[in-house]
Amino acid sequence: MESVPNYDQRHSPIEMSSDQFRAVGYQLIDRIAGLLDSLPQRPVSPGQSASTVRQILDSERPLPSQGADAASLLDHAADLLFEHSLFNGHPRFWGYVTSSAAPIGALADLLAAAVNPNVGAWPLSPMASEIEAQTIRWVAELLRYPSQCGGLFVSGGNMANLVCFLAARQAKAGYDLRVEGIHGPKLRVYCSKETHTWVQKAADICGLGTDSIRWLPVDPDQRLDTAALKQQIALDIASGDKPFLVVGNAGAVSTGAIDPLPDMAAICRQHDLWFHVDGAYGGLAAMLPNAPADLVGLREADSIAVDPHKWLYAPLEAGCALVRDQQHLRNAFAYHPPYYHFGVEATNYFDLGPQNSRGFRALKVWLALQQVGRDGYEQMLADDIRLSQQLFKEISKHGELEALTQSLSIATFRYVPSDLRSANDATERYLNDLNSELLTRLQSSGEAYVSNAMVHGKFALRACIVNFRTALEDVLALPPLVLRLGHEADQALRPANLQTAKA
Ligand SMILES: Cc1ncc(COP(=O)(O)O)c(C=O)c1O
């Protein structure tokens, strides 16, 4: 007969004694503190190939059948990550829209994981659910959006925009699309051609197809052309389609351009369309006392996506969807299966979004908001913007750097050797290749990190400062670095037959 295990003395290999947890945890915290101290001395990016990283990891190693000591495993993991990571917390990281992460956020994630509330349902996370609700209200307050709005934390900007897209689809389709599926006239979405690719994923995932998107032209400052918006809506209505959603950018991904949001809101009111603002990058700058009127216009939106893991400096992941009328989120997401026994007197977050079980993303945002307060955030965002403006000014001083755009905390520019300043098609093509090569060299140099944008057909380098560690000396170091690497790339790349200004 099989012997019955004695569960009084159960030994689970994954358990840790509190003494062991304390010892291992303190050791890890010491190592992380050391990493933070050493960031400015480290390369921003390791500049290693995928095959080198795989080799260092020993990626072909089979799954171990026997367990190992937790302290040495964590130590090894820290070694691997500290020596072979790109550090977006480095003062000279300005790529994409990825912020340096607030240290309190790292501690918050540890605390959240330790308590492990399931913030899908209130009874499974009483305090965590209430903290999420308070944090949503505070984020709305920062933007001066109605604080009784609905909202929830999701993984990032794509998901926050998708949640709002789904709310808009259900609200404006004119029938119960969740039950019936899509039918009838073609649903139409309007946005500028500078809009982030999330809108394609959303149209695709939501069953509309990417053909439903009307990509509208922009003005020379990359802002949506409202005359084109009005015209396209009229044309679509005339041909029997159903416009339902207009998307405005509060800081477009490439250049930080801010669409004319108040004008777009007025057009939406006129045609009874849902007005959504993608503020994943720049929406939070609406908190600044001197925010431009076009940006402040996000307060008129039916929904807004903002990204605490961008300009609130939360560690990944933390996106946030805000919807003026919470009922629209319930209409878009709620189901009540018989196996759930959750009251409705408080918010059950599975009713407001696509997730069921949910982690406690709000905690890191809630703690950081209190650590620095509104004033602290205003100061840090204003500093990022001022540093970007300063960078743009510095770039403009150099004859071989062409300053292209500056908005919010994004500056775009490119390297143009002095003998290639008078452009023709061949030199423009070469300048695009040259700047693309320069970007590769810059990103693997470890000295600083920027990304790229296409600005009116020009391949541009793009520095986006959402980094509370960046100081003036960091910004001043970029132009000489770009000039040096640009010169080297030009020497390696220039075709013999390219016409120069002198030729
Ligand atoms: C304007 C904008 N929208 C959406 C996104 C997508 O955000 P995430 O990468 O957090 O999904 C980004 C990312 O940079 C963005 O800049």
pLDDT one-digit tens code per residue, 42-87: 999 999 999 999 999 999 999 999 999 999 999 999 999 999 999 9
CB 198 less than 6 A from any atom of ligand 1: yes
Distance 130 CA to ligand 1 centre (A): 27
Q: Judge whether 408 and 285 are in contact, CB under 8 Å.
A: yes
Residue whose CA lies nearest to ligand 1 atom number 16: 253
What's the pLDDT tens digit per position in 383-397? 999 999 999 999 999
CB 154 less than 6 A from any atom of ligand 1: no
3-class DSSP assignment, residue 193: coil
Give the architecture (CATH level 2) of 374-493.
Alpha-Beta Complex (3.90)
Q: Using the atom order of ligand 1, give the atom closest to the CA of residue 253.
A: 16
Residue whose CA lies nearest to ligand 1 atom number 3: 280
CB 196 less than 6 A from any atom of ligand 1: yes
pLDDT for 343 equals 75
For the chain, the structural domain boundaries read 15-44+46-85, 117-359, 374-493
CB 90 less than 6 A from any atom of ligand 1: no
CB 158 less than 6 A from any atom of ligand 1: yes
CA–CA separation, 308 vs 314, rounded Å? 6
Q: Is the preceding peptide bond at 400 cis, omega within 30 degrees of 0?
A: no
pLDDT for 12 equals 93
Residue whose CA lies nearest to ligand 1 atom number 5: 157
Distance 248 CA to ligand 1 centre (A): 13
Using most ligand atoms within 8 A of CB, pick from 98, 247, 249, 253 the residue to mutate for ligand 1.
253
Q: Are strands 401-407 and 410-415 parallel, antiparallel or unpaired?
A: antiparallel
Element (H, E) at 231: helix 226-238
CA–CA separation, 78 vs 355, rounded Å? 31
Q: Using the atom order of ligand 1, give the atom closest to the CA of residue 309.
A: 10
Residue whose CA lies nearest to ligand 1 atom number 1: 253
Distance 281 CA to ligand 1 centre (A): 6
CB 278 less than 6 A from any atom of ligand 1: yes
Q: Judge whether 489 and 438 are in contact, CB under 8 Å.
A: yes
CA–CA separation, 167 vs 305, rounded Å? 12
Two structure tokens written together for 496: 């013999």
pLDDT for 219 equals 96
503 residues of the chain, pLDDT tens digit each: 566 666 677 889 999 999 999 999 999 999 999 999 999 999 999 999 999 999 999 999 999 999 999 999 999 999 999 999 999 999 999 999 999 999 999 999 999 999 999 999 999 999 999 999 999 999 999 999 998 999 999 999 999 999 999 999 999 999 999 999 999 999 999 999 999 999 999 999 999 999 999 999 999 999 999 999 999 999 999 999 999 999 999 999 999 999 999 999 999 999 999 999 999 999 999 999 999 999 999 999 999 999 999 999 999 999 999 999 999 999 999 998 888 888 767 899 999 999 999 999 999 999 999 999 999 999 999 999 999 999 999 999 999 999 999 999 999 999 999 999 877 888 999 999 999 999 999 999 999 999 999 999 999 999 999 999 999 999 999 999 999 999 999 999 998 888 776 54
Distance 6 CA to ligand 1 centre (A): 52
Using most ligand atoms within 8 A of CB, pick from 153, 191, 196 the residue to mutate for ligand 1.
196
Q: Tell me the CA distances in angstroms from 437 to 451, 480, 491, one per residue in order.
A: 12, 17, 11
CB 279 less than 6 A from any atom of ligand 1: no
What are the φ/ψ torsions at residue 246 (nearest 5 degrees)? -120, 130
Residue whose CA lies nearest to ligand 1 atom number 7: 157
Using most ligand atoms within 8 A of CB, pick from 94, 98, 158, 466 the residue to mutate for ligand 1.
158
Q: What ranges in 285-326 are assigned the alpha helix state H?
A: 293-296, 308-311
CB 157 less than 6 A from any atom of ligand 1: yes
Q: Using the atom order of ligand 1, give the atom closest to the CA of residue 160.
A: 11
Q: Which residues pair with 406 in a beta bridge?
A: 411
pLDDT for 170 equals 97
CA–CA separation, 367 vs 44, rounded Å? 27
pLDDT for 503 equals 43
Distance 321 CA to ligand 1 centre (A): 13
pLDDT for 502 equals 54
CA–CA separation, 240 vs 248, rounded Å? 24
Q: Using the atom order of ligand 1, give the atom closest to the CA of residue 97.
A: 14
3-class DSSP assignment, residue 276: strand
Q: Judge whether 121 and 348 are in contact, CB under 8 Å.
A: yes
Residue whose CA lies nearest to ligand 1 atom number 13: 97
CB 286 less than 6 A from any atom of ligand 1: no
Q: Where are the beta strands (DSSP E) in 449-490?
A: 449-455, 458-464
CB 281 less than 6 A from any atom of ligand 1: yes
Does domain 117-359 match CATH 3.40.640.10? yes
CB 280 less than 6 A from any atom of ligand 1: yes
